[in-house]
Structure formats: C-alpha cells, structure tokens
Structure 1
Amino acid sequence: MEERKQLKKTLKPHWVWAIAFGSAVGWGAFVLPGDWMAAAGPLGVILGFSIGALLMIVIAVSYGQLIQKLPVSGGEFAYAYFGFGRYHASFCGWFLTLGYMCIVALNASALALLIKFVLPGVAMQGLMYNIAGWDVYGGEVLVACIALITFAYLNIRGTSISGFMQFIFCLTLIAGLSLLVIAMILHPSSSFSNVQPLFNPEIGAVSAVIAIIAISPWAYVGFDNIPQAAEEFNFSPKKAFKLIVIALLCAAATYSLTIIATAVAMPWQSLIAQETVWGTGLVVENAYGTIGVILLSISLAMGIFTGLNGFYVATSRLLFAMGRAEILPRVFAKLHPKYETPFVGIIFTCLITLSAPFFGRQALLWVVDMSAIGVTIAYFYCCAVAYRLFSWTSTADTDVIVSPAKKAMTLLGLISSTGFFLLLVVPGSPGFLGTPSWIALFIWIAIGFVFFMMKRKDFARIPKEKLDYNIFGKTLESESISSNTTKKEA
C-alpha cells in the first residue's frame, strides 16, 4: 500500500459547532427574509424553517451514527462507498462537490451585494455588462474575488486558524443579531401588528409552509460539514451528533429572529411591494439610520465569512478524500509541506469559484437552486447507509446493530430526504426548479458523465482492499455492508 496521507487532529468541539452553525446560517438569514415572506408570510417562514430543522435533525441521526463508525474525511462520499460501493460514491461525491462550490461562490457574491448596499460608490464602479437583468460591475467583482482569495489563503495556513476564526465569527454574529432584534422590537414605530397577515393569503397556509420546507436542505446545508472534517476531531466522534443538533437549533432560531426583526418594522406586504434588493437593510436603515445599517452589516458580514470559511473546509476535505481514493487525480490528496492542509483542493475551489462573480448574481442563483438536488442526494445516501447498519430484530450478523428506535429514525430520514428531492423535481410542487436551474443541472450531469466514462476503467481496476485503505485507513473485509457490495460489484 502507498502511504496514506492523513489530516492532523486539531479541531476542538466548539470550533466544529461553529463550522456547522456558521455554514448553515451563512448570508441568507440577513439578506432573504423579504423574499421568503413574499412566498410564505412571516409565520409561514418561521414554521417552515422550524419543521425543516426538525427534519434535518432526523436526518442528522444517521450522520451521528456514521461519524462514529467512520471518522474520516469525505463524509457522504465515504458513507456511500461503505454502503453501496465505488460507483455510488463517485456519483454522490460529484453532486456534493457542486453543491459546496456553489455555496462558496454565492457567499462571495453576497459580500459584493453587501458592499453594493453599504458602499455603492465602491461596488458600482466600472459597469461591465448585464446578465439576466443584473448589472455586473468591476467593483463588486473585485470585492468578491478578494474575499475568495483571502479565505483560501487563511485555510491553507491551517485548520486551527480556520476553526478559531469560525468560532469568533459566530460569536460576533450572535451578538450582533441579538442587539439587532432587540433594537427593532423596541423601536417606537415597530409593532407586532405589522406581522399580519401571518401567511401569504394568495397561496394558503399549508402551501406557504411547504414552500419553505422545500428549501430547508439549502437553508441548513452546512451542518453536514461536520462529517467532512471528522478526521480532524481532537475529541470523541460520539459528540458529533450533539454538536449537529445544537447547530441546527441555533440556525433555526437565527432564521426566525431575522424574520421577526424585519416584519415588525413595517407591514411586510408594503415592504415586499417596494421590490427592494435588501428588505431587512431597508427597514433597519429607516429605523436607525447609518448606525443600524452598520450593526446589520457586521452581522451579515459574519454570516458571509462563516459560509465562505466553512465551505472552504468542507469542499477541500471532500476533494482530498476523493483524491485519496483516486476517483480524482492523486494530486488532490497532497498536503501542504508546512501547514499540512489539503491545499490543492483549497486552491482548486478558489480558482473555480473566482469565475462566479463575472456571471452576475441572478445567473449564479440558478446554479445554486439546482445544487440543492446534490445536497438532498447526499442526505439520502447517508440515511440509506445508516438504515442498513441497524436491525429491527436480533440477527446472526455481528456487524448489524439491533436498535428498532434508531432503525426507525434512519427510515424517517430516508423518507424526509426523498420528500425533499421530490419537492424539487415534481412539476407543480412549491419547490420545483425553474427552467434555467434544470439547464444547469443537465449540463453538470453531462460533464460528470463524460468525466466518469474517461475514468471508469482505471477506477474499476483499483482493488477493493486498496480503496478501503485509501478511504478508511483500513480494509473492511469483515464488514457486512462492504462485503455485500463487493459481491454485487463482482
């Protein structure tokens, strides 16, 4: 066996919580409340995200079990291989890579949007062109590119730096959000009567809630960054599930609080009618002027930074694991000679996402909407593998755990992830993707198919023992799921 590169165990529990929470919240909680209320109404958004968080916790049960069993880099990619073999792992990893990279790019574009609102004289310099109704300026492109390069450099410098920064960003975000919500509720012009009507009267309460539940996989994507970094835990993997649950509850609370802070300021339907680019920014500016915008901007910047940083960590670890398995070129498995970080994956992510700001925000949103499918596919694989780990009744197989309760939870996770997928792909459903997103999806599938056909023969020739060692650091001849998969592949 060739030497297997392994990442250092440097991540502390509160850093890991920060990676999950900060990645799950990101920029959306501070930028999109107006868009969400337009779709579902204030209570519809809060109920939708609350139910979505509970469904994510159900799915997280499977993640918690698999992190304990397989504490390695790669997350769902490694789990798909463990449960279903190399081709499923390749399929899952391809879609998950897309989802992660899209979110890195979108966070950079959100920073450009923030600068556009706060410092328009800086961002709106050098009009370049218009894409899908969005004017692209040289100033905003420069801001986004600087952010991408800066966070790539910081991640190359070491996991300890990125983990500590993530924790500080999250604390600052929580402090700023708390002050913002209190200030907006206590403002003389604010009133809870502005929250009426609670739902969007045009689509009804149930449809409104379902529309928000449909985007929960995108809203909460980031909690699954924890398994991507499992190899670097300096604590027991048994704590992972608790950290995921706390992160999801904190994220749900954050989404709800930003909705409340936005909705109490003025009748939300009047706010939507103004068609402003940033509804939350508008109501805060009206209430507290420049000071309020600065406070909101700090919280938003922290959300953007946590998203950038967290998904740089996740994407680079996924690419590292796929390179170590030789699904991707082996160069992705290299570690930096000084900092011992997967620098090739970090640089590759940076180079790919640097092109995103040039396409304009609207075009980028089409790709991000499509990438939600990749996330739901990853959720499905994780739950399916965990489901096979448990048994309803006693069995002669010593590698299967008898636990009807956990078996039921993983089954619920399977149903939830399947439901999320159907909400995105069934015509007429509240979360059905638009035509541009479908075009982007088919392009990505075509690229993946071509890449797979080019690598298929080489990939098939890798002995299972070598793949086991590269992915897990050990062979899995005794594992029942792995041996069953081997028979199927044979």
Structure 2
Amino acid sequence: MKNPNDKGLVRSLTLIDAVGIGLGAIIGAGIFVVTGIAAGVSGPAFIIGLLIAGVIATCNALSSAQLAAIYPESGGTYEYGYILVNPTVGFSAGWMFLISKLAAAGVVAIGFGSYFYQLVPIASPMSFSVLAIIGLTLANYFGIKKAGILNLVIVSVTLVSLLYLVFSGLPQVKAENFKPFAPFGITGIAEAAALLFFAFTGYARIATLAEEVSEPKKTIPKAIIITIITAIVLYVAISIVAIGVIGTEHMASSTSPLQVVADALSAPAISTVITIGASTAMLGVLLSQILGISRMMLAMGRRHDLPPVFQRVHSRYRIPHIGILLTGIVILLLTLLGSFEFIVRAATFTILLYYSITNIAAIKQPKKDRMYGKLIPIVGLIGCLAMSISLPLNVIISGIGLLVVGFIIRFVIHKIYSNPK
C-alpha cells in the first residue's frame, strides 16, 4: 500500500524507454555466454531449444503484460501474487526476485570488468566492475528519465555490435556445420531450452517498473511484446551465424563463444566491436537490475514485507533512493566477494518459481481483465514448472532454503512493525 505522505513516483517512461529497459535486461550474459553451453548439450539443435524457450518466455511475457496493464504499480508479480492469489505467494515472488536479481547482478558486474579490461587494460578488471556499480547506482539516483536515456544509449551500442556480427557472419555460414543437427536427441534439446530460457527473462523488468510508465495500459503490453519478439529474432540470427561460422564444438569449448565467432571473421574491427558490445550488454543488464531491485524493495516496503523505510521516495528525483543505495551496496559486496556460487545456482530455481506465480496470477484474473485468454498462462505455467523440476536436486533444495530464509526475515519484520499493511 502506498504511503499517502510521499509524492510518489512519476510516469515518465515512454514506449521507447520501456522497450529499451526490457532489451537492456534481456541482452546480456545469455547471448554472450549461455549459447555456448547450450551448444555443448544439444549441438546445432540448440536453435530448436532456443525457440522452445522463446515460446515459453512469450507466454510468460503475455501474462506479465495483461497483469501490468490492469495493476500498473511497482513490484510486478509481487503485487499480482498479493492481489490475485494470497500474501504468502506474493511475498514469495518478491523475495525470489530480489535473491535472483541480486545474485545475477554480482556476476554481471564481474563480467563487465572482464570484458572492459580487454578494451582498456589500464586497471584491474575488478576496478572497472566497482566503478560500473558506483556509476550506475548514481545514474539511477538522479531520476528514472535520466536512467532511461542512459539505458537507451547502452542498448543501442549493444544492438549495433550484434547486428554487425550477424551481417558480417552470414556470408561465411557453412551448411556442413549444422550436421549432425541433433546428436543428443530430444533430451539435449530439452536441456538447451531450460538453459536458454534464462536468456529471455529480462522482459518482466518493464512490469516491475510499471508505476513509472506513461499510459501503462497501452504502453506496457506493447513494450513487452516488442521486447520479446526482438530478442527472439536477434538470438536466432546470432545462433545461426555462430553455428554456421565456427560450429557447435568450438562454441561449447569457449566461455565467450561470440568472441570466437568474431575472431573467425575478417570484417574490419569485428573483434573489438563485439568486445564493446559485450561490455555495454553487461552494463545494460546491471542498470536494469538496479532499477528493478529498488522498485521491488519499494513495493515490499509499502506492505512491510521489508522495513518501511524502503517505501520512501526522494522529494526531488522521485525515485526510491533508499532502495537504490542499498541495492548498489549489496551488489558491490557480492562483486568484491566474487558472489556466492550456491546463491547464483539457487537463483535459477527461484526465478522459475517467480514466473510460475506470474502465470498463476494471470490464470486467476477475472475474464474481463484478460487480454490473451487462459491458454497462454497455462502453457507458461506448465513450461516453468517442467523446467524447474528438471534442475539438479541440490539447486532446488538451495532455492527452497533461500525462500525459507526470506519467510524468517519477513516474520521478524512483521513482529517489529506490528501493524503490517
């Protein structure tokens, strides 16, 4: 529930801003790293896995779109869970979002430092990671519109670099690199789909920021659909070029497969362009993580699922400044500590449960509020649950353990603030 004494957030994000934030959240480590891992488990057929992941992600995206159009407030699935299911489910969604995005942000910050060091080797990679966190935290602090403009610049550089790779590589695609197409059968394709699903998960960032989007009922569904379609088309094009140029064996043997593709091409400065694109991709994801996490803290602070100090909105910049500052500090600590591997692994389980709750909320929406029918969220829910139970048992147990920790923290906070909202 909103604090009547604060001035609230301001609806200043346009359709282009919202699409930019969605693409900034999606185009990151997924395309630059996970494609190589997926190639290793399924061969060239990982493109089929990519399309399956894209279909499930699209169903989830449409569920998010119709929910955000009716409930355009900060918090996304946290709010939908509270309103349409029950407070326990709502809190679970919010806590899982925080855990997964904070863990991912630390990894992304380290990734940025590693890539940027290749361009400017004048300081340690960790120094660049720290500077990026501080700089993007400040960028978030001075208003959503300024952060949105910065994000558009970052995303534009990333898109241009990836398109350059696609058009440079298409003439050198070799048909023989697609044979055998599915050496590991259906099992390999299914595993690739589960891996590649995480390359699409940033579209929900638009819903999390719904309270700052202008004309949300029209803008949010359009932005989410444009974002997910753009990502699928771009990912398929890049995957075809990568397989066709270097083959899946070379992709699987590298932690930066697109860099290997670039090195195999003769286009002018292609390797440098891809390194720049990878650097800006990591920056875009990190910027969107700070945006999303701080707005989730705002929503959870309003309901006293986190200390109510997080519901404060800066009187001048109209942003949740306490949440932004704490988010920056936590990401900085995770980065300096190298992130905790078990948190990162558990985050894969928690984010699937998060999207499962999105689909459950969409299923429970009144018929008059549904934009895409009931089948879409049902398919999305089945896809999420199927992928979640396919994860290793230790990952599932770790995810459940982190969720239990969240409920303990919530219980303590509710005891301290005896009149929860």
Partner of 1:179: 164
Using the TM superposition, name which of 23-32 and 347-356 deviates more: 23-32
Percentage of pairs with the same residue: 21
Partner of 1:13: 15
Once the two structures are superposed, the pairs formed by residues 72-471 of structure 1 within 5 Å of their partners are 72-115=73-116, 117-118=118-119, 122=122, 139-187=124-172, 191-199=174-182, 201=183, 203-204=184-185, 206-270=186-250, 272=252, 275-288=253-266, 291-360=269-338, 364=341, 366-391=342-367, 401=368, 406-424=373-391, 432=392, 435=394, 437=395, 440-441=398-399, 444-457=402-415, 461-462=419-420, 467=421
Q: What is the SS of the residue equivalent to 1:354?
A: helix
- Name the CA shift for 1:66/1:458 in 2 (closer, same or farther; >3 Å): farther
Using the TM superposition, name which of 381-390 and 320-329 deviates more: 381-390
Confirm or deny: 8 A CA contact 2:305 2:414 kept in the other structure.
Answer: no
Residue 213 of structure 1: how far off its partner (Å): 1.9
Q: What is the one-letter code of the residue matched to 1:9? A: R
Tell me the distance in 2 between the aligned counterparts of 1:150 and 1:368.
24
Using the TM superposition, name which of 8-17 and 54-63 deviates more: 54-63
Residue 61 of structure 1: how far off its partner (Å): 2.6
Match of residue 22, structure 1, among 24, 28, 53? 24
Tell me the distance in 1 between the aligned counterparts of 2:354 and 2:130.
29
Q: What is the SS of the residue equivalent to 2:238?
A: helix
Tell me the distance in 1 between the aligned counterparts of 2:59 and 2:251.
35
Residue 230 of structure 1: how far off its partner (Å): 0.8
The number of equivalent residue pairs is: 419
Residue 439 of structure 1: how far off its partner (Å): 6.8
Tell me the distance in 1 between the aligned counterparts of 2:116 and 2:216.
41
Residue 197 of structure 1: how far off its partner (Å): 2.6
Confirm or deny: 8 A CA contact 1:23 1:311 kept in the other structure.
Answer: yes
Residue 402 of structure 1: how far off its partner (Å): 8.5
Tell me the distance in 1 between the aligned counterparts of 2:39 and 2:91.
38
- Name the CA shift for 1:344/1:49 in 2 (closer, same or farther; >3 Å): same
Confirm or deny: 8 A CA contact 1:103 1:307 kept in the other structure.
Answer: no
Tell me the distance in 2 between the aligned counterparts of 1:383 and 1:457.
31
Tell me the distance in 1 between the aligned counterparts of 2:241 and 2:348.
27
CA RMSD of aligned residues (A): 2.5
Tell me the distance in 2 between the aligned counterparts of 1:403 and 1:222.
22
**Is residue 36 of structure 1 aligned with residue 16 of structure 2?**
no
Give the TM-score normalised by the residue count of structure 1. 0.79
Residue 68 of structure 1: how far off its partner (Å): 1.8
